[in-house]
Amino acid sequence: MTLAQEKPAVSATVDHPLEPLTPDEIATAVAIVRQEKSLKTRFRFATVTLHEPIKETVLGFQPGDTIEREAFLILLDNATARTYEAVVSISSGQLKSWEHIPDVQPPIMLDEFVECEAAVKASEEFRAAIAKRGITDPDLVMVDPWSAGNYGIADEQGVRLSRALCWVKANPTDNGYARPIEGVIPVVDLNKMEVIRVEDYGVVPLPPKDGNYTTEYVKEYRQDLKPLEIVQPDGPSFNVKGHEISWQKWKIRIGFTPREGLVLYTVTYTDQGEERPIFYRASLAEMTVPYGDPKPYHYRKNAFDVGEYGIGSLANSLKLGCDCLGEIYYFDAFITDSRGDVAQIENAVCLHEEDFGILWKHMDWRTEHTEVRRSRRLVISFIATVGNYEYGFYWYFYQDGTIQYEIKLTGMVSTAAVMPDEVPKYGTLIAPQLNAPIHQHIFNVRMDMSVDGPNNSVYEVDIVPEEDEHNPYGNAFYAQSTLLSSEQGAQRTIDPMKGRYWKIVNPAKTNAMGYPTAYKLMPGENTLPLARPDASVIRRATYMTKHLWVTPYSPDEKYPAGNYPNQHPGDVGLPEWTQADRSVEDTDVVVWYTFAHSHSPRAEDWPVMPVATIGFMLKPLNFFDENPANDVPPSPKNHGSKHACCG
């Protein structure tokens, strides 16, 4: 939905410096920039979001303090192809800065998706190309505007491009991804919104079989499912004030940006009356999806869904009973469309509790006395649709101090057509003549750590066998900790054969046993990128080559592939910053964790892929004196049916 664009009054006081911009504040920021710079309609607004105050302001804030509210904007001038950054003081109504950022492209905006599709369908060259394939109705064509990447092609430099991939529906409600228009690539100048060429690599027949999955087409459903109710008769156990969440001993503040989507701030756990910090800020900082097919019309498929499109701007509006179950609290998100009008994503973020099986249990076999506690977790999530794929992003908080991040991958695999009887080498046949190319989903989460305070160190821990002279019986092994003292030395990869994890330690704090308090980062599923080191996607997303990076905190270092990965040649972000090899010992550190899902598709992924999950955990490591969940009460014995287990 779009709200009125008139310049409103300066926004009212908010309760905290990290509260997201309100609709009025967004509209005010846009109006100030328009007025101060006399902007014409040729300008697009790629980003309007909170300009986060410095840490000292946030951490020193007390209720009643005066807060200067600022907005950060990224704008694109379609006429000159120039990109600008601006900072606006909403409190004073002033434009504080206006800077041209040369040789960059802002992310492709949702409005551009729609306009690009219209431009492609209007192109006579494109119509001629699809007519050769027997397609006579362009209105049935689906156009996904993929980013063009950067391959050093001279006539592409400085041109805002999309290399569009196309499919065709049999009818308006058909699943178009079942019928790729193979080998036809319209290349669109997004500033002019014109098709500048149509690459045609030869006719490949349309796959013959549909891939429909909606209730309109699926008529025979399972009949043996009985209702499964999730009931909280007394309501949820969490409390929400603005964008601050309190649950059990956790306190979490959330935000939302068009680029990152859900952002977590100032996460703390109360222990023996003390509110202990764990991290200051955490978010999905980048994700890259490199494809493995070398054909001339597929090798440029490398999507940076955070930096090239803005995963937050593609967030779904969630509905009760579908994406989330139970007693739900929703947060709306407010962004802008590319013309600067405020857009509301209703129910963008879902908050709820889940039962999660056994938390802890012990039976004393001598007395036959059993104590068991059930685990409950708090879930904060959002889901985004990026063309064919859906991604669900979930932060879980547990009663024992554990934090988990999980991404759920579903939706549709990207499809390509092949000739009859062709068996693709770089993909899988999921239907006759329909190929799902092999690819990876590679994510990076940025965590501004603050374990028990601002100064932390990071250690790599391997489980190793003891040396022979200290191991007379051959059975000894131990956890070996190695300090990662500088940026170069802190570029690490997983080693599951050694049980490798990394611990973020506060060297100034200890628990009752004298161990420094820490949280450990525990890898889950992971692999390395499979493109060669000299591939364009590796230069543009060098962050993928290491699973762990550690940097000293800098407010300007936010995104591992740089601020503007769209069509950028690369060598920026983490590889650039860490060349200085700065110290990361006993200081304010940022931990960047990269994790990859290598997806070799299967028949069962079609037409809609069952959820695959990937992520990691942060577990307390001598952060507490004992199990912090000892005080979780037992479950009522009369809960549920006569078959229910009280544990």
Q: Show which residues are catalytic.
A: 305, 389
Peptide bond preceding 207: is omega within 30 degrees of 0, i.e. cis? no
Q: How far apart (Å, rounded) are the C-alpha atoms in residues 121 and 116?
A: 9
491: helix, strand or coil: coil
Q: How far apart (Å, rounded) are the C-alpha atoms in residues 518 and 300?
A: 42
Which among 418, 262, 229, 407 is positioned nearest to 331, based on CA atoms? 262
Strand (E) positions, 387-470? 389-398, 403-411, 416-417, 427-431, 434-437, 439-449, 457-465
Whether 618 contacts 518, CB under 8 Å: no
From the number of C-beta atoms within 10 Å of its C-beta (0-12, 13-18, 19+), residue 303 rates as: buried
Whether 622 contacts 466, CB under 8 Å: no
Which helix or strand (DSSP H or E) is residue 113 part of? Answer: helix 110-122
Sign of the C-alpha dihedral computed for residues 190, 195, 201 and 205 taken in this order: positive
Q: How far apart (Å, rounded) are the C-alpha atoms in residues 268 and 221?
A: 46
- Pairing relationship of beta strands 589-599 and 439-449 according to DSSP bridges: antiparallel
Q: Residue 2 contacts by C-beta under 8 Å, 6 or more apart in sequence?
A: 337, 341, 342, 343
Q: Return the axis-axis angle of helices 124-131 and 110-122, rounded to nearest 10°.
A: 70
Q: What is the 3-state secondary structure (H, E, C) of 32-76?
A: HHHHHHCCCCCEEEEEEEECCCCHHHHHCCCCCCCCCCEEEEEEE
Whether 624 contacts 464, CB under 8 Å: no
The encoded tokens of residue 239 equal: 């409390």
**Alpha-carbon distances, residue 248 vs 113, 132, 270, 376, 440 (angstroms):** 43, 64, 9, 10, 37
Per 3-state DSSP, what percentage of the chain is helix, strand, and coil (rounded to 5)?
A: 10, 40, 45
DSSP-derived letter for residue 499 is T
Sign of the C-alpha dihedral computed for residues 123, 127, 129 and 135 taken in this order: positive
Q: How far apart (Å, rounded) are the C-alpha atoms in residues 82 and 106?
A: 10
